[in-house]
Structure 1
Amino acid sequence: MLGYPVQCWLDEPDFWQTHVHPDDRGWVMEYCLNASRDKRKYSFEYRMIAADGRTVWLQDIVTVETDEQGPAILRGIMVDITERKQAEAALRESEARFRSLFEEVPIAYQSLDMEGRYLDVNKGLCTLLGYAPDELLGQPFSNFWPPDMRECFPAGLDSFKRNGGATKHLRLRKKDGKEVVVILEGRVQRDSRGNFLRTHCILTDITEQKLIEEDLRRSEIFISSVLENLPNMIFVKDAKDLRFMRLNKAGEELLGYRHHELFGKNDYDFFPKEEADFFTAKDREVLRSGCLLDIPEEPIQTKGNGLRFLHTKKIPICSADGTPQYLLGISEDITDRKQAEEALRKSEEQLRKVLEEREQLSQDLHDNIIQTIYAIGMSLEECRYLFQEDHQEADKKLEHAVACLNRVISDVRIYIVWDKHEEISGQQFCAKLAELAVTMESAQGIHFSLDLAVEAAQRLTPQGAFHILHIVQEAMSNSLRHSKSRSGLVSLQMEGGRVRLEIRDDGVGFNLEEAAGLGHGLQNMTARALKLGAHLQIVSKPGSGVQILVELPLEDPHASASS
């Protein structure tokens, strides 16, 4: 065991003492003397130096034999325990390393007993909760739960012990009162018989992650709310198969499909092949180019709204490396605008034809009627002299003049645009006012703006429409001849159960007292208003333009009106 010859032990009285390890020799000799003096059996462990210089750990079991004088012989058994000591040293070193790791690792660790009280904690847990170790050890884990969660602790602990472990999201209360959110991952340690010993748990602080997730959730809710409440259709497709990933509320109302009906499907599942081919081709073009594509007008056959026309913009949504992941589309329904533009175009075409007809009328009046009247006048002038010389010839010329006048009267009737017996609708009434405004502007450059409520025009009787038209015509004519204005306004609105007409210009104006009794224009307008039972008011002074107001009470549709 030590490598020394037996004779050395027998011949040298101090051999054993001199070969005890120097660090152990003092206490070993003292221990042996005390034990021998007390005449008791003893066992102890110490180190000796072997013949080859090794340090050997020994367990020495010594029996003391005595006689009348006291201890006489020490009988001992030496057992080599070097390997055990080395194993114990290695274990202590390992435990020290583990403890150091346990304390310094930036992970919160805790161990609980059968009742859920702290058995062990590391520095990471103390840092997480803000307590010192002695403030935690022996305390129930539930003391560090928020009050509203503590009643759940017993059932949770029972489930944990029964299942042998668990992974849970928990809220914990720190020493400063703030809460942290953690993921607890733990297992149960049992003895060889399966009895509970303790829990081992690691807690990961995910408070910041939760805050980020909550911010992200709020951001997603905000963005979703914005998208859902936009008046235009918003849709998203995946870049690979062009399948719908998202459709907002405006898109659902336009197309007639709910979001869940479109999700995961493509254009061919809902639209005619020709339309689907067009949509798909444009989508692929956007994804290839990586640029915004503006489609000013595209038809689409919807489920509940029939054929509609869209102004669509499409753009790819790419990943960090520039690869298209999604396709975003924004579509504005321009059907109503397109129809309004078409109606305006037709109205402008009709107005153009009216102006052409009026120009033709002017030419006809000059070339035909005026020349005819001039010729009739020449003929009548000649008759004055023929009555004295040739009555028969004079009669013939008079008959001819009368025939010519009858033809002129017939022609004039044909050229009259507004016949007082003509019944017109509200829209026709507004159109005639528009024609009149255009005529005034084309004649002398006065621009009259129109603010006409179709509802007000439709409430007029044929008689009312006739007189209102002529009041407007007379007012515009006066502005044309006297006001030197450049612009004016004609407004027809419903106010308080009455039809209110307003005509005004920005001309030189006039003194009402000085104008009283001059000309027939103002008198004619007043007379027409009286026939309708309306109130007419003229407001003007020099340098301030003219304003004419007519308030017409609505007539009982069952009452008869006199013209």
Structure 2
Amino acid sequence: MRYAWTHNYGLRLGVSLSLILFLVMGAGTGVLIAQQNQALRQAAEERARAVARTFAAVGSAAVLDNLYRLQESLQLYVQDDSLLEIDIVDNDSLVVAAKQPGRIGTVLDDPGWLKARKSKREVVLESSLDKGQPTLVIIEPLFDRDELTAWVRMVVSLSQIERERDQTLWRLLAVTVAIMLVGLYAIRRVLWRTSALLQGVVATLQSASVPLGPEEPPLALPLSQSAPRGDFERLLAVANDTASALSAQTRSLQDLAQSLEAKVIDRTHDLEEARAQAVRSLEELREQETRLRSLVDNAADGILVTDAQWTIESVNPAACSLFGHSVGQLIGREIQNLLFQTPRDSDRPKNGHEPLHLMGGAREEAIGRHLNGTSFPAELSVSSMNIGGASHYTIIVRDVTERRHMEEMKERSAQRLHQLGEERAQLYYDLHASLLQSLSAVSMGLETSKLLLIQAPDRAPKQLDQALSHLHRVIQETRDFISRLEPRTASHDSLLQSLQLLVQRHDSWPCPPFLIDVDPVAAGQLSVEQEIHLLAFAREAVSNVVHHAQATSGTIRFGLWEGAARLEIQDDGIGFKPVEIGNNSPGLMNITTHVKKLQGRLTIESAPGEGTTILVTIPQLQEAQLMGGTSQIS
């Protein structure tokens, strides 16, 4: 037996593991029993305390006043066998009610009772009966209006707890034994499988030897008859024999290595020549890469390379200059954070720019955002490529700010040429339709006066007065025409001052008094061009008042109304029927032309004997500078 223990590793391993398993299971069983015993004791204590605190919650007055009903309830309803005694005790230590009627009238004098009565608090004591039965004594005070008048004494049996503890101990012991048996069986099974595996290893080592040459014998691993009988000891013996045999084969391998070394030297020479060729190819590739990198770095346009998710992988210096970021700040960012879709005038977003949707092979326009928050127009060229089976994109970004500026200048020049053509046409019309006709009327009046001087001298002075009146009006119209040709650029010449000069009365300009009301906020939002057209509109309207309305007073109001600017000119003259004037009236045509320049709406209200009101409404001033189209007249 001692020899088997010393030379059998499997036996020692099985016994050791069994002992460790027994100790672990024993310790676990003890801990479980202690925890269960404590839990059962606490449950019994809490149950008894709950009953005692029920009496305490009712109050001593209610308990003492209903002793008869309380005694009846204790006998009928408190049927718990674990509650051995339930006593109601007064301040004289006399039992006045009890679960066992024989205890009524008993005077308590045990030490536990005296200790509880002295402390006037709840007391929990462990005790035992005469038969050695363990018990738990709980004494709870009863108060009536904060005055101690009675006690509840309960005796709880712990025998059931001990029985349950013993039963648990036997169950755990049975489980421990079963687990140990299963463990021993499992250990035995593992050792058996390990032994079979080791036997296979030994057989494999014996059959694994191969000859190093045609005259070399295979590696032999003989086992002596005196070798240990244990599987692990046999494996150690085989390992020693194997080491000796492998040492012999190592020497043979060294000889083989020397022969292979010569072949390696020849092969190395061939590899050196291949390496020199690869180095030359690599230098050529590097030279091409340097040329390409120089081309990319010196390109005027920004070049960005992204992956399939449009995340930037590399950039050139021009791209860093365009966006104001360094190379490290650009790499790893999404291209959509730098380029945005060019907004249209019809669907321009209120906040920020719309995201840009790119696709390979596309050429499109976009808006680039600089680091300092400014934006610039850009032209994009997107091309796709496949590197190592993954999709990549090359984006060439060209700043077209200068080109856009030149295009805008060209467009403004064309607009200015068009405006000058319209002004020339208006000048021709004013000269032909107004001044020339007025001069023709003066000429005809002078001719008539000349004839009257010969034929009817008494009528000649009246005709001369009429011709002179027409001449004065022609002079005033000429002055008005010249004033319209003079550009208003001086900052001190405000709309209010210009209107005041317009209605100022003198000998050649019999203008009635006008009340002028101008909103300075609305006037400050007018552009120079808008103010010039408004003054021309006012001159034509006031001229009609002076020459045709026979008015005694008038008003001129300018201000904002529901987001639009309004200029209203009103007089108390003789009025007229608008349908009788027609659209070919020179004054109405001049007014309509200026309203059209303002992109506004013209309204004329008049009736015979009720004066005239002329109103021009301009949309929001920023929109009026951008929108096109014709004016509206009502």
Q: Which TM class, normalised by the smaller chain length?
A: 0.3 to 0.5
Flag the structure with higher helix content.
2
Higher-RCO chain (CA-CA 8 Å, sequence separation at least 6):
2
Provide the TM-score with structure 2 as the length reference. 0.32
Larger radius of gyration: 2
Provide the TM-score with structure 1 as the length reference. 0.35
Flag the structure with higher strand content.
1
